[in-house]
Amino acid sequence: MLNGKSSCVMEKLWMIIMFDRHLRVTILVAWSLLPLSSLAQDRPLLFTGEVYSQQAQEIFVPLTSNWQARLSRMIPEGTQVQPGDLVVEFDGSEAARQLEQQKETQRTETAKTERDLAKLEKELTDARYKLSQARVSLELAALKADLPEGLVGALEHSENKLAKEKAIKAADDAGKQLTDKQESITERQRQADLDEKKARNQTRLWQKMLKTLTVNATQPGFMIYGKHPWTRTKFQEGDTVQTSFRVAQIADTSDLAIQVWINSVDRPRVDTGTAVNIMLDALPGLELSGRLESISDSGAKRPEWGKAMYFEGVVLFESARETGLLPGMSALVVPSL
């Protein structure tokens, strides 16, 4: 337990911390580096947090061909927007180039298909003509082969029989060639249909990708920039970002809450339902009440704060209307233990 003098010092230090965000973060980092045994269990709890919208339009980096994109345009942070307003635009030059290249490839393949089919149609016509000629030759050979041996002589009769057999074989070959040409046309047409379907799908993919590179607001709210998941720095125009990164959000101010981070050392001392007092750096002198609605089941590291694990919590306001609250405001949350 702390003696009276120490308690007085701690109380003054706490008051300074509540109104100095930079000092608060510094002390939180320092606490995260201390072993559990060195932390006094009766020190006042305080958590750093941030106001956020529970009904927000999240803006993520869309799928691209190389899994990254450049932020070519972002409206200024804090801008109030309405549904339909352009809020974020990613560089679409590569997608546009790929789309045009795909269309050119499709035109080339269509021309090649038409040329191949025209050639096969000509070969099919030739095969039909040859089969017709072979059948006529077969009919003539059959008539000669049917002449009696006594009428034409044994030698000529044998030659007529042999000629008929050759004509039969020639007609069969011509029929097979015609069938092959018909199958070739059918196969080439089938391949052309598959190629066209593939090209259409590829074109739609690039068109859809190009469309997703432009993001419009789907709800009214305020533009809030996202933070890089590794460095925690805010995204800006010109940044190259990876697919799936959350680069911004359109925050609806009608349903605000506070996201807090609870050091693993402090986690056993708080639970859901705990009443809290809330102070906002942007609104000094204002103190609001709330309660700890939920705490994550597992902790995660925040490298910018040290090596400690932090549990994410959600604080709901019990009195927070017409106070000028905006998403992104930093907050100090003090449990009423």
Q: What is the pLDDT of residues 91-146, one digit of tens each?
A: 999 889 989 999 999 999 999 999 999 999 999 999 999 999 999 999 998 988 88
What phi and psi values does residue 197 have, to the nearest 5 degrees? Answer: -65, -45
Distance CA 142, CA 179 (A): 24
Each residue of 145-154: pLDDT tens digit? Answer: 888 878 878 8
The per-residue DSSP string of 10-67 comes to HHHHHHHHHT-HHHHHHHHHHHHHS-GGGS-TTSPP-EEEEEEESSEEEEEPPP-TTS
| Residue entry with tokens 């809450």 | 257
3-state helix, strand, coil in the chain (%, to 5): 45, 25, 30
Which carries the bigger pLDDT value, residue 246 or residue 328? Answer: 246
pLDDT-derived band at 23, boundaries 50, 70, 90: low
Burial of 118 (0-12, 13-18, 19+ CB in 10 A): exposed
Among the four given CATH numbers 2.40.50, 1.10.3210, 3.40.50, 3.40.1130, the one describing domain 62-91+215-243: 2.40.50
pTM of structure? 0.62
Of the chain, the percentage scoring pLDDT greater than 70 comes to 85
Q: Which of the four pLDDT bands, split at 50, 70 and 90, describes residue 14? A: very low
Alpha carbon of residue 160 to chain centroid? 77
Q: Where are the domains of the chain?
A: 4-55+252-335, 62-91+215-243, 94-212
Class of domain 4-55+252-335: mainly beta
CA nearest to 326, candidates 252, 216, 226: 252
Q: What's the rounded Cα separation, in Å, for the pair 99 and 56?
A: 32
pLDDT score of 337: 66
pLDDT given at position 319: 67
pLDDT at 10: 46
In 10 A of CB 17, how many CB atoms? 19
41-55, 240-254, 313-327 — most confident range? 240-254
Return d(Cα 20, Cα 62) in angstroms, integer: 38
For residue 215, the surrounding DSSP H or E stretch is: strand 214-216
pLDDT tops 90 at residue 28 = no
Per residue in 178-189, pLDDT (tens digit) is: 999 999 999 999
List 60's β-bridge partners, or say none. 246
Question: Residue 157 is encoded by which pair of tokens?
Answer: 């009769």
Q: Tell me the mean pLDDT in the region 84-92.
A: 96
